[in-house]
Amino acid sequence: MDASKKALAWICACALVAAAGAQGRESADLKRGALLYEAGCGECHTTQPHWREKRIVKTWPELLFQVERWQRVGGRGWSAEEIRDVAAYLNREFYRMPCPVAGCGGKES
């Protein structure tokens, strides 16, 4: 690979790393997360799934997965940002796990 191609590859790699870091620092809209949760999830269950001892969710990725899964089952059609907002709201209120989203209530990872 010649020098110009190596330089271009290096620049692209740096841009991807920077973009990934910037994504992790996004902040969630906790008010929107609370409203979506109350309107879309509160009708089927109370807070019990979140505070019970045998909870399924133990990490931020698991929480995102479960929110995405159940919004899909419920036919909500939420965007990735809305899923993140609901997960951040739940994390702040119940889970307090490390997460990469500012304002999620847990330690930022």
23, with CB counted inside 10 A (0-12, 13-18, 19+), is: exposed
Torsion on CA atoms 90, 96, 101, 103, rounded to nearest 10: 80
Q: Cα(11)–Cα(7) distance, rounded to whole angstroms? A: 6
Provide the number of structural domains found in the chain.
1
Predicted TM-score (pTM) of the model is: 0.68
Tell me what the mean pLDDT of segment 51-59 comes to. 74
| Domain-located, residue 3 | no
| Domain-located, residue 61 | yes
| Domain-located, residue 106 | no
Tell me what the mean pLDDT of segment 2-15 comes to. 44
| Domain-located, residue 17 | no
| Domain-located, residue 47 | yes
CB-based contacts of 11, cutoff 8 Å, min separation 6? none
Summary mean pLDDT of the chain: 75
In terms of residue numbers, what domain contains 45?
28-95
Instruction: Note the pLDDT tens digit of each residue in 11-24.
Output: 433 333 333 344 44
Structure tokens that stand for 89 in this block? 């709201």
| Domain-located, residue 38 | yes
CB of 98 within 8 A of CB of 58?
no
| Domain-located, residue 70 | yes
Q: How far is CA 51 from CA 11, 24, 48, in A?
A: 46, 26, 5
| Domain-located, residue 108 | no
Range with lowest mean pLDDT among 44-53, 59-68, 77-86: 44-53
Coil/strand/helix, residue 108: strand
Domain holding 41: CATH number?
Answer: 1.10.760
Instruction: Note the pLDDT tens digit of each residue in 33-45.
Output: 999 998 888 776 6
